[in-house]
Amino acid sequence: MSTTEFKLYKKLTNELKFRYSELEYVEQEIAENLLPFEEYYRSFCKELGVSISDLEEKNRKKVEKLFGNKPVPKDTEQNSERVEVLKDDTVTKKRKSFQSIYRQIAKKIHPDKFSNQQKTLDIIEKEEMFKKATYAYENDKWGMLLEIAEELDIHPTKYTKINQILRDEISDVNKQITAKQKTYSWMFSQAEEEGEKANVIYAFLKDVFDFVI
């Protein structure tokens, strides 16, 4: 085992854990500010005498394109299918890389090991840990899976391959964070002053309805 690869592995797992916590925070902020944004937006437009229903009617096609459930064109569907096939193939290869780790986890804490034992707090915690590991493995949450493996003193045998997968996952999570931070609910959550909140509404009206006050 290369000491350099092992140190990189520890660094990447810690970074991935941090990125996931950041993503969770952003998603929570967005969820908590969906209704406040909607209420502020409607109140703001009412005060300025802007009719939201008129804006939506005049820009019906654009609103449908942005928010409606229109059927996907056939050529786009075909491209999407090809992308999904490639994505599934990549996921399958990654799962194989973590299969050994998941099996080692199962050997240590699979609920069947404790079926004939009294339900102690320790056993309940291990059963919950295994549920979490199974969820992580089936949903490609490699950072979560590795965190559980670390708790059980289980380590990868090929750090180079695992490190590349961790890099890819960090990149994916960063893209998710960036995309979510472009939503109006997120921008509204970060606005503290009334002027900042108003600017979020101005941007929303401009982008969605091409309407400038």
Its domain, for residue 136, covers 3-209
Stretch 42-69: mean pLDDT, rounded?
A: 82
Tell me what the pLDDT averaged over the chain comes to. Answer: 86
Q: Which of 67-76, 132-141, 156-165 has the lowest mean pLDDT?
A: 67-76
pLDDT recorded at residue 200 = 95
Q: What is the pLDDT of residues 93-125, one digit of tens each?
A: 778 889 999 999 999 999 999 988 898 999 999
pLDDT single digits (tens) 133-150: 999 999 988 888 999 999
The mean per-residue pLDDT over the stretch 145-171 comes to 91
Taking residues 158-183, report their average pLDDT: 93
| Neighbouring residues of 183: CB distance < 8 A, sequence distance ≥ 6 | 30
How many domains does the chain contain in total? 1
pLDDT for res 197: 96
Summarize the confidence of residues 22-46 as an average pLDDT: 95
Average pLDDT over residues 15-22: 93
Q: Does residue 81 carry a pLDDT above 60?
A: no
Average pLDDT over residues 143-169: 91
Q: If we measure between CA atoms, which residue out of 174, 175, 172, 169 comes closest to residue 9?
A: 169
Per-residue pLDDT averaged across 153-171, rounded?
Answer: 91
Predicted local distance difference test score (pLDDT) of residue 88: 57
Q: What percent of the chain has pLDDT over 90?
A: 63
Whether 164 and 138 have beta carbons less than 8 Å apart is answered as no
In the predicted model, what is the mean pLDDT of residues 173-179? 96
* Percent helix, percent strand, percent coil in the chain, to nearest 5: 80, 0, 20
